[in-house]
Amino acid sequence: MAATAAVAIHQFAECITCHAWSPDLSMIAFCPNNNEVHIYKFFTDKWEKLHVLSKHDQIVSGIDWSKSSNKIVSVSHDRNSYVWTQERADWVPTLVILKLNRAALCVQWSPKENKFAVGSGAKSVCICYYEQENNWWISKVIRKRHESSVTSLAWHPNNIYIATTSTDGKCRVFSTFIKGVDTRGSQSSTSTDSKFGEQIAQLDLSSTWSFGVKWSPSGKTLAFAGHNSMIYFIDEVETAPAAQNLALRDLPLRDVLFVSERTVIGVGFDCNPMIFVADETGLWSFVRFLDERKATPSTSKASQLSEALGKLYGQSKQGTSSDTVEPSKPRGGAHENCITCIVPLRKGSDGTTKRFSTSGLDGKIVVWDLENDVSIAK
């Protein structure tokens, strides 16, 4: 049997609302369920806290770290957003006024990183972009259509389309074309001809809250989860949406991730990532849970004892300095509470994601490696 898929587990806080990795994956930014963003760096054998970004007044609900420009964007229930740029050792915030009257709930850089999108409780999506002349971030709001809070966002690879899920149960796709920021006709086809805020599609599949929308790497397939323990896969979103609705046996999902065109990882209230795979005909099905939770019979009394001692030792050490967190080995299930966030890490040579991380209400960040997993390798 292959080694376990969870390669690292770190207990960073009591609860984590969201997390993001630095471009070189050496640092992690997360919100420990308060108004701060903590940045940790991994030094040889342990994580150390480098920065605390405290500018927000309320819980930080979304963080994204841009890959090429090394900027962090954070959004909060305080209705504001900050773009953080690194200047020598410090992170300098720039306020982005979103013009919202309710909490901001999620944020995502566009693929080209010249825009970012914010979903909010004000039934709207803000598309923000930088205006060189004024040295200022502008927020354009898509106010129409959403009948309830926007729970998640996903950019299409074309940098124009954005998919949203909302607590009105629907999944929608909008155009975010902004003159002067995006260039018309640079991409093939008609996909870039639509105006800002124009609705491209509305998928009325879930009768209850929907969460965790994602595009496949090519942008051909869209997936999102419903709070009624369903996951939806949609092909041909722009022209003639063809949906597959998959009912889960277990608890609902909160977020999903395409690791390749034909493989999706779903995370949520079962505290254990689920693997979904599409066969040659494009038919999606649930394969299994990623985390093997069965008690390993090989574990001897002695190793259990040393493990317990290690835990005790780790805790006492942790007590003396709360800024360092000892890496701990997986024990039973990797997560002990609902997983709310899944982020891709390393990509393989074939463009598929081999590693990803998850965080949730138990305050842990778990790194998973699919290469250790024989059954997923094709």
Partner 1 sequence: MASSAAYPDADENLEAIITRIEQKSRKIETLLKQLKPVEALKTALEGSPLKTRDERCKSANWIVVHRAMMAIRDVDAMFNSLDPEYYDILMKYLYRGLSTGDRPTCDQCLKIHEKLTEKAGLGCILRSLADTVNTV
Residues in contact with partner 1 by CB under 8 A are 207-209, 226-230, 245-252
Structure-token pair, residue 184? 């018309």
159 Rama class: left (phi>0) / alpha (psi -120 to 50) / beta? left
Q: Given the complex with partner 1, which of 228 and 372 has the nearer CB atom?
A: 228
**CB of 199: closest distance to partner 1 in angstroms?**
21
Q: Given the complex with partner 1, which of 249 and 378 has the nearer CB atom?
A: 249
- The phi and psi torsions of 48 (rounded to 5 degrees) equal -125, 140
**CB of 243: closest distance to partner 1 in angstroms?**
11
**CB of 80: closest distance to partner 1 in angstroms?**
32
Which amino acid is residue 97, in one-letter code? Answer: I
- The phi and psi torsions of 304 (rounded to 5 degrees) equal -65, -40
Whole-angstrom Cα distance, residue 248 to residue 268? 12
CA distances from 317 to 52, 312, 320, 327 (A): 22, 9, 5, 12
Handedness of CA 256, 155, 343, 30 (dihedral sign): negative
**CB of 92: closest distance to partner 1 in angstroms?**
44
Q: Given the complex with partner 1, which of 202 and 321 has the nearer CB atom?
A: 202
Cβ contacts of 355 within 8 Å, gap of 6 or more: 7, 344, 345, 346, 367, 368, 369, 370, 371
Whole-angstrom Cα distance, residue 133 to residue 123? 30
**CB of 225: closest distance to partner 1 in angstroms?**
12
Q: Given the complex with partner 1, which of 81 and 206 has the nearer CB atom?
A: 206
Angle formed at CA 183 by CA 166 and CA 203, multiple of 5 degrees: 20
Q: Given the complex with partner 1, which of 227 and 254 has the nearer CB atom?
A: 227
**CB of 205: closest distance to partner 1 in angstroms?**
9
Angle formed at CA 271 by CA 308 and CA 344, multiple of 5 degrees: 105
**CB of 293: closest distance to partner 1 in angstroms?**
16
Q: Given the complex with partner 1, which of 206 and 357 has the nearer CB atom?
A: 206
Q: Given the complex with partner 1, which of 94 and 228 has the nearer CB atom?
A: 228
Whole-angstrom Cα distance, residue 165 to residue 168? 8
